[in-house]
């Protein structure tokens, strides 16, 4: 008897010991602004993406994987938190907005929990390489209250903000300069600030205030009125920042070497895992294929689609290096690899904005398939069969609960989680989407709703609001991006209804009269969804969106300029 007890004890101990090392690793690869139509395994036959295609072949391709927003900041927030951005003030305001400047106090609220945080709490070693774009500082430069390390990443090498148009050193007038010039002229901000200054001096002249007060008031006025101008007009120097953990290591960054440097960091991170017993979670958040399109010289002119195609191929090369490193280290079998994009291609940018395949619309259009249907592939040889195709509706918010299921970690109980576990679907289960409904937002406006009845095969989509596209197109070329409200949209009553299973292009609206039940069910779901939302601070409010000089990150003060020197030769880029 005693022997048996001992045997049992021993085997339990052994199982526990083995299990400790047996949990999978995670690699998340996230592209920026990449359209579904730009990837080989999603139908593109002229851009070469062999490494993304290989992930699909060895694992699963998700053909109806949806972003929670059609623009960077809210979409990335939803991916990490598993919740609609509207629940914590990150949806935007009125227009499809990302954070435009680095030196603002807004960001992902500290009360949000992310899945990397959950993994770290469960003993994972975590790292974020690349773009963050979810805020940085709250009260002063360096408090790093919205820094990736506050949201579960042990190591950060990348862009606290984003690579955007203004990071291109060769642009004559940047978007920020143009915008600042027009805004200040329209609101007469220079006239207002000059008048205020005259008033302050008059107060001093009549001895109502002292010099100290003159100085304080002027500094305050300057930072309120003039600093936004400085910040917008010097976008490249003030926003195009590269950090390692808490240190600024390059500003402005050299965009043409970012992807190779991130790749090198990824290889280093993976190699370091060899000597560690902890499992890991790595997110590589690419700057490709967002403007400025400045791929490394080894990729320029190599694709058939200009700088855009070159940038897609550069990213695919980097993914290949990451995958080859996993293979070399014997980690492929038990690593969950996920590739997606944060929002659809920016079709208004023409040739340089990419393609959303057969789908209408693109970046900014939270209600359009082209804005939110993301080219997504997942590989995990232990659990996912090669060649799996998931056609049911899934969401980027599902990653949180899916990772939780894999880790056997409980989900946060004090909040509504919008994501669902999609491990069964990835494992090949023939079952409907775990979502009865998905709500598609454009900024903080609900534009469309997806409904997947439990019976039958059809997924419905009701458009409450449609975009006023330029005639003959599915974009808003005159505005550069479609608006979410006002003159920019049409309110549909009754909503336009489509069967996106049989009509994914949404060419054939179904008459509301023929399916009143479907619309009634959807309307009821909208009411319930709205009831579940609570009043929160909007991170896109004017005050949170105003840049402050004391929030400006800087290296080499007061010059705010520095460079990182890295030897890229070990990568044999392009070879």
Ligand X SMILES: *[C@@H]1O[C@H](CO)[C@@H](O)[C@H](O)[C@H]1NC(C)=O
Rg of the chain over CA atoms, in angstroms?
25
Joined tokens for residue 227: 């600093």
256 binds ligand X (CB under 6 A): yes
254 binds ligand X (CB under 6 A): yes
The catalytic position among 72, 442, 482, 484 is 72
The catalytic position among 133, 237, 435, 447 is 133
Supply the minimum distance, in Å, between the C-beta of residue 30 and ligand X. 19
46 binds ligand X (CB under 6 A): yes
542 forms bridges with which residues in the sheet? none
Measure the CA–CA gap between 397 and 394, rounded to whole angstroms: 8
356 binds ligand X (CB under 6 A): no
Q: Which is nearer to ligand X, 97 or 251 (CB)?
A: 251
Place of tokens 């775990």: 434
- The residues in 288-347 that bind ligand X, with binding defined as CB under 6 A, are 305, 308-309
163 binds ligand X (CB under 6 A): no
47 binds ligand X (CB under 6 A): yes
| 65 classed as catalytic | no
Q: Which is nearer to ligand X, 47 or 497 (CB)?
A: 47
Q: Which is nearer to ligand X, 38 or 342 (CB)?
A: 38
* Contact between residue 435 and residue 393 where contact means Cβ atoms under 8 Å apart: yes
Measure the CA–CA gap between 340 and 115, rounded to whole angstroms: 16
Quick note: the x/- pattern for ligand X over 3-22, rule CB under 6 A, is: --------------------
Supply the minimum distance, in Å, between the C-beta of residue 423 and ligand X. 20
Q: Which of 7, 9, 15, 169 binds ligand X (CB under 6 A)?
A: 169
Joined tokens for residue 572: 């044999």
| 41 classed as catalytic | no
Place of tokens 């500082």: 137
* Contact between residue 462 and residue 519 where contact means Cβ atoms under 8 Å apart: yes
Ramachandran region, residue 70 (left: φ > 0; alpha: ψ -120 to 50; beta: rest): alpha
Supply the minimum distance, in Å, between the C-beta of residue 120 and ligand X. 34
Q: Which of 49, 257, 343, 394 binds ligand X (CB under 6 A)?
A: 257
282 forms bridges with which residues in the sheet? 27, 127
Place of tokens 């060895």: 58
Supply the minimum distance, in Å, between the C-beta of residue 31 and ligand X. 13
Q: Which stretch binds ligand X (CB under 6 A): 252-260, 367-375, 418-426, 508-516?
A: 252-260
Place of tokens 């929160």: 536
Helices (H) and strands (E) in the chain, counts: 16, 16
Give the contacts of 326 (CB within 8 A, at least 6 positions apart): 27, 270, 332, 335, 337
Q: Which of 116, 135, 344, 357 binds ligand X (CB under 6 A)?
A: 357
Q: Which is nearer to ligand X, 357 or 375 (CB)?
A: 357
The distance of Cα 49 from the centroid of its chain, to the nearest Å, equals 21
Strand blocks (E) in 321-392:
335-341, 376-379, 388-390
Measure the CA–CA gap between 425 and 127, rounded to whole angstroms: 27
501 binds ligand X (CB under 6 A): no
How many chain residues touch ligand X (CB under 6 A)?
A: 19
Q: Which of 130, 228, 354, 371 binds ligand X (CB under 6 A)?
A: 354
Write out the catalytic residue numbers.
72, 133
Interface ranges with ligand X (CB under 6 A): 37-38, 43-47, 169, 254, 256-257, 305, 308-309, 354-355, 357, 456-457
């Amino acid at each position: 008897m005693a022997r048996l007890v001992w045997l049992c004890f021993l085997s339990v101990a052994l199982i526990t010991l083995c299990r400790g090392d047996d949990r999978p690793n995670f690699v998340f690869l996230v592209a920026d602004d990449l359209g579904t139509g730009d990837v080989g395994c999603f139908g593109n036959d002229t851009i070469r993406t062999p490494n993304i295609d290989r992930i699909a072949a060895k694992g699963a391709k998700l053909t109806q994987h949806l972003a929670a927003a059609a623009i960077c900041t809210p979409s990335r927030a939803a991916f990490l938190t598993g919740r609609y951005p509207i629940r914590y003030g990150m949806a935007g305001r009125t227009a499809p907005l990302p954070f435009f400047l680095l030196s603002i106090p807004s960001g992902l609220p500290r009360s949000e929990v992310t899945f990397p945080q959950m993994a770290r709490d469960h003993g994972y070693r975590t790292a974020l390489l690349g773009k963050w774009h979810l805020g940085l500082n709250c009260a002063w430069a360096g408090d790093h209250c919205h820094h990736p390390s506050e949201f579960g990443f042990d190591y950060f090498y990348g862009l606290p903000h984003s690579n955007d148009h203004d990071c291109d050193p060769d642009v004559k007038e940047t978007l920020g300069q143009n915008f600042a010039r027009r805004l200040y002229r329209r609101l007469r901000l220079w006239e207002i600030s000059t008048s205020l200054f005259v008033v302050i001096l008059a107060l001093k002249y009549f001895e109502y205030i002292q010099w100290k007060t003159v100085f304080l008031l002027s500094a305050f006025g300057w930072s309120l009125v003039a600093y936004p101008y400085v910040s917008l007009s010097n976008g490249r120097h003030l926003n195009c920042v590269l950090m390692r953990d808490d240190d600024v290591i390059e500003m402005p960054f050299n965009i043409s070497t970012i992807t190779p440097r991130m790749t090198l960091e990824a290889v280093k991170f993976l190699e370091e895992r060899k000597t560690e017993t902890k499992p890991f979670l790595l997110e590589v958040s690419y700057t490709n294929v967002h403007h400025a399109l400045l791929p490394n010289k080894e990729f320029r002119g190599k694709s058939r689609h200009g700088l855009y195609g070159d940038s897609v191929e550069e990213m695919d090369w980097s993914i290949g290096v990451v995958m080859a490193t996993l293979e070399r280290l014997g980690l492929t079998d038990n690593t969950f690899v996920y590739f997606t994009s944060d929002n659809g291609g920016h079709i208004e940018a023409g040739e340089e904005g990419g393609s959303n395949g057969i789908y209408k619309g693109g970046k900014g259009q939270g209600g359009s398939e082209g804005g939110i249907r993301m080219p997504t592939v997942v590989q995990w040889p232990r659990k996912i069969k090669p060649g799996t195709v998931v056609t049911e509706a899934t969401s980027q918010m599902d990653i949180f609960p899916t990772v939780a299921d894999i880790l056997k970690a409980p989900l946060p109980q004090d909040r509504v989680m919008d994501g669902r576990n999609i491990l069964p679907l990835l494992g090949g289960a023939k079952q409907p989407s775990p979502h009865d409904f998905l709500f598609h937002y454009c900024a903080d406006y609900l534009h469309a709703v997806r409904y997947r009845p439990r019976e039958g095969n059809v997924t419905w989509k009701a458009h409450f609001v449609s975009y006023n596209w330029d005639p003959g197109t599915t974009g808003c070329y005159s505005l550069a991006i479609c608006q979410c409200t006002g003159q920019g949209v049409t309110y549909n009553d009754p909503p336009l209804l489509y069967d996106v299973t049989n009509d994914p292009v949404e060419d054939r609206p179904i008459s509301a009269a023929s399916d009143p039940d479907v619309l009634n069910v959807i309307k009821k779901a909208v009411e319930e969804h709205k009831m579940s939302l609570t009043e929160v601070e909007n991170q896109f409010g004017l005050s949170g969106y105003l840049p402050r000089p004391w929030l400006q990150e800087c290296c080499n003060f007061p010059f705010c300029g520095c460079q990182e020197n890295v030897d890229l030769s070990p990568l044999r880029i392009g070879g």
